[in-house]
Amino acid sequence: MGGIGKTTLASAIYAHISSQFEGYSFIENVREVSKKGGLKTLQEQLISEILMEKDLKVGNVGSALSTIRNRVCRKKVLIVLDDVDESTELENLVGELDWFGFGSRIIITTRNQHTLFRYSITHIYRVEELGEDEAIELFKLKAFRKHQQMGGYGKLVRRAVEYAK
């Protein structure tokens, strides 16, 4: 389900633990960019960020996979792939899961759980929707900048939270 905080949660985890890795990369909007033909661009971003090399270019999708396998293989890396839709996107961005060094972590956000099963991923965390009270508290925190009474906005806030789910 979209809009329940998968990307926000992955981003917070990434910010918190990325310093524990030799290389790290956060790739956003994989589904959207991939559909527009930008898979090679995503691969270049991933390799550039992990190897800390600016403006790295690869010839094609296949040569990018070879670069990932040969130059990143022994590194302890953190990779976050946001909004993955197809297992082929995973195959072209991370290849095989055993290519990376011991202690590496790959975090994938997706709306399509079957993508994870097809790639034999077994550790799955399902993000639950907020309850109404939690959603209202979050809305108040963001809209009013602090935990305070809503004044005359109570009904409007409840309608907004219900509409947004």
List average pLDDT for each run of 10 residues in the chain, which is 165 residues long.
79 96 95 88 90 83 84 89 90 86 93 83 84 83 69 81 79
- Whole-number Å distance between alpha carbons of 95 and 161: 40
What pLDDT is stored for residue 106 in this prediction? 93
Domain assignment present for 125: no
Count of domains observed in the chain: 2
pLDDT reported for residue 2? 64
Nearest-5° Cα angle at 122, 20 to 67: 55
Measure the CA dihedral 95/99/104/110, to 10°: 10
Same domain, 20 and 77: yes
The pLDDT score that the predictor gives to residue 11 is: 94
What single letter denotes the amino acid at residue 163?
Y
Same domain, 114 and 151: no
E-strand stretches of the chain: 23-27, 77-81, 105-108
- Count Cα neighbours of 25 within 13 Å in the Cβ-side half-sphere: 25
State pTM to two decimals: 0.81
Q: What are phi and psi of 26, to 5 degrees?
A: -120, 110
Residue 124 located in a structural domain: no
Q: With the C-alpha atoms ordered 100, 25, 87, 62, is the resulting torsion angle positive or negative?
A: negative
Q: Is residue 126 part of a domain?
A: no
Residue 97's closest CA among 66, 63, 121? 121
Residue 89, both tokens: 């996107």
Write out the H or E segment, with its range, that includes residue 40: helix 39-51
Q: Are residues 111 and 137 in the same domain?
A: no
Cα-Cα-Cα-Cα torsion 17, 20, 23, 27, nearest 10 degrees, comes to -10
pLDDT of residue 148: 61
Identify the pLDDT of residue 147: 58
Same domain, 114 and 141: no
